[in-house]
Structure 1
């Protein structure tokens, strides 16, 4: 039995679809982000911050991966601000160290809270955001991993949107005799890529309040019109078209057998 041959149109269509399918992968990185990278700021070249703000408006800007430090006293509210971009799983860590001259007389509870650009409190997906320090402890460590940052969310939801994020560190329960004792705080925000499964249709402008205008990723905000969903959708459509062409070529028949006259 002779194998079914593709018609010229079918061969051309198959070639074009195959080229489109295999040509999508190299082009994807170039489309990921076409926004220009901002020039390094003077604060970035000076090294990580060594102080913290006292409220949202005075929060100290810090980049992801920077370990910011601050000298403070028990009872202070410490604020930092960092950028969170689309598709990131952000983890915030904080360490409070009690110097040898700062011996607590009673147990104290320390806590970190994270807020988005709209100052909505964001819950931790996992981690230890609140922890008790026993009397005489030398340090206490806290951590909080947020839900995946999205580029778009319904107005009724509390989903974390891209933009500025605020980290607040404070002691929520402390004895009066321990108020004002010196402490040293260190915080760091890191992020990992959640992948194409977290992509969402639609986008909003990064939520960066006026007082936090310096909270911008070192490489600029990512583009939101392109996501891995485009690649998977286009690849699936191309494979479906190729399967359709192949099925048609195999089932359309071999044509009129030789020797059979045409009907008059």
Structure 2
């Protein structure tokens, strides 16, 4: 009976502890209908339009243009970039491509998704997708792993015919992410996220304390700020393991100690 109660308490604790971790693994909430969503795109990395995760950014452009947006991604997130291009009524076959770069302007590979697609002649739209690798809190200097900071989206058409150059198109992008959790946690973190200009800002603040001189080129950050990997649900699973180990020790002791009385009474006792 005592062991049954201990196992029941362990199961209850396990259920209460795992519930928040499972909830954290759900995709980021949608922000459809947000009036603050951008309606234009930049033409270079430096002029990239900032967009928050969950927002749907739109832009009117011409075929042949390079369209740039930027968004923040923190440790433990696996971002997904989706782009839709509405093509003109008449056009030849067009190949469109979406690329994603990190804060160091290193091109990040896609785990899966249609990063490049060809719209056949007369097609109304073309849809692209890129699912990045999970953002790590820290990585070796020589590695090309995604790290916390600003990410850039570049959308453009490839190998256009002369007749299609300059035709009007409407593009939209949306970024969402899934929280992978403790399975992607690493033992380390960056001193600062890879946000353009943040090093200049930190140096200016430390020297004269005048934040007006800070030259931060990107002002967006995840909801709740940059965590830099200080928390993950690996702490939760470590706590669960410790509790279960303690209960197993108590249960083993209860099984092996016996009734507490000697099996035979010595003569004359």
Q: TM-score range by the shorter chain?
A: 0.7 to 0.9
Give 1:214's aligned residue.
219
Note if 1:137 corresponds to 2:143.
no
Q: For structure 2, which runs of at least 5 residues remain unmatched after alignment?
A: 21-33, 198-215
Q: TM-score, normalised by structure 2?
A: 0.76
CA-to-partner distance for each residue in 1:108-150, whole Å, 9 max, x for gaps? 2110000111111111111101111222222211111111122
Which stretches in structure 1 are left out of the alignment for 5+ residues? 6-14, 30-44
Deviations along 1:163-184, whole A, 9 cap, x unmatched? 1110000112101222111111
CA contact (8 A) 2:17 2:236 kept: no
User: Do the aligned residues in 2 keep the contact of 1:161 with 1:206 (CA within 8 Å)?
Assistant: yes
SS at match of 2:239: helix
May I ask how many residue pairs the two structures share in their alignment?
A: 236
Alignment of 1:1-264 (within 5 A): 22=13, 47-100=36-89, 103-104=90-91, 106-204=92-190, 205-210=192-197, 212-222=217-227, 224-253=229-258, 254-256=260-262, 259-260=265-266
Q: Which structure is higher in RCO with an 8 Å CA cutoff and minimum separation 6? A: 1
SS in 1 for 2:221: coil
C-alpha contact (below 8 Å) 1:25/1:231 kept by paired residues? no
* Post-superposition CA distance 1:77-107 (Å, at most 9, x none): 110001112222211111111234xx32x32
Query: Aligned partners of 1:111 and 1:158: how far apart in 2?
Result: 21
Distance 2:48 2:106 in 1: 16
Indicate the RMSD between aligned Cα atoms, in angstroms: 3.3
| CA distance 1:191–1:256, shift in 2 (3 Å) | same
Residues of 2 paired with 1:252 and 1:112: CA distance?
67
Residue 25 of structure 1: how far off its partner (Å):
5.2
TM-score, normalised to structure 1's length? 0.77
| Segment of structure 1 superposing worse, 111-120 or 192-201 | 192-201
Give the superposition deviation at 1:261: 7.1
Partner residue of 1:11? none
